[in-house]
Amino acid sequence: MRIGHGYDVHALAPERALILGGVQIEYEQGLAGHSDADVLTHAVMDSLLGAAALGDIGTHFPDTDDRYRGASSLALLRQVAKLLTEAGYEVQNIDCTLIAQAPKVAPYIPAMRQNIARCLGIAVDRVGVKATTEERLGFTGRGEGMSAHSVCLLNERSPGQRGEVTPCSRS
């Protein structure tokens, strides 16, 4: 079993859509970024890539590459799922936390969990999504941006399934 951690931050800006866990939420501002800036999904992807020691989202989806301009982070998450499968891992569970002073996202959490689980091909009860404010403190508390943390566990499939060389004894 392998543990992973991911963390991401995006600034709030006018005239941007607010997309969190693949859910578009009505709000006066959205998150700025090269992609759709879905900070929660970015933290989830980094936790998965980290657990597999496969780098991070910037390695796989550089913000200098026009293919990722305005990209759906859920589409990127599906690509991460493929990388994990190819490397011989399956997701045991994910637990992530969005840090945002506003808006209240609790009503959207079931849809976020469904989106993340669907992209990874796992049951929704393997995906935890939570939200908290930072009590008006710091950059999230002042409404300048949002951040997210994620942890995950990956199961390693058996060596035979991963295409690894298995030690053999010589007589």
Ligand X SMILES: Nc1ccn([C@@H]2O[C@H](COP(=O)(O)O)[C@@H](O)[C@H]2O)c(=O)n1
Instruction: Round to whole Å and give the CA distance between 86 and 142.
Output: 42
Query: Are β-strands 23-25 and 30-31 bridged in parallel, bridged antiparallel, or unpaired?
Result: unpaired
**Going by DSSP bridges, is the β-strand pair 145-156/2-13 parallel, antiparallel, or unpaired?**
antiparallel
Q: Is 140 annotated as a binding residue?
A: no
Q: Closer to ligand X at the Cβ: 69 or 104?
A: 104
Closest approach, Cβ 56 to ligand X, in A, equals 25
Instruction: Of 23, 6, 7, 4, give the one whose Cα is nearest residue 118.
Output: 23
Q: Which is nearer to ligand CDI, 58 or 107 (CB)?
A: 58
Question: Rule CB under 6 A: is residue 96 a binding residue for ligand CDI?
Answer: no
Annotated ligand binding at 9? The verdict is yes
Q: Interface with ligand CDI includes 163 (CB under 6 A)?
A: no
> Which of ligand X, ligand CDI, none interacts with 33 (beta carbon under 5 to 8 A by kind)?
ligand CDI
Spatial CA neighbour of 74 closest among 28, 121, 131: 121
Q: Is 149 annotated as a binding residue?
A: no
The reply, when asked if residue 167 is annotated as ligand binding, is no
Residue 52 within binding range of ligand X, rule CB under 6 A: no
Least distance (Å) between residue 131 CB and ligand X:
4
Q: Which of residues 24-43 bind ligand CDI (CB under 6 A)?
A: 33-35, 37, 42
Interaction partner, residue 61 (ligand X, ligand CDI, none; CB < 5-8 Å by kind) = ligand CDI
Is 57 a binder of ligand CDI (CB under 6 A)?
yes
d(C-alpha 72, C-alpha 106), whole Å: 22
| Cα atoms in the 13 Å half-sphere on the side-chain side of 12 | 19
Count of residues that bind ligand X according to CB under 6 A: 7
Query: Is the C-alpha dihedral spanning 16, 20, 22, 25 positive or negative?
Result: negative
Which residues lie near ligand CDI (CB under 6 A)? Answer: 8, 33-35, 37, 42, 57-58, 61-63, 68, 71
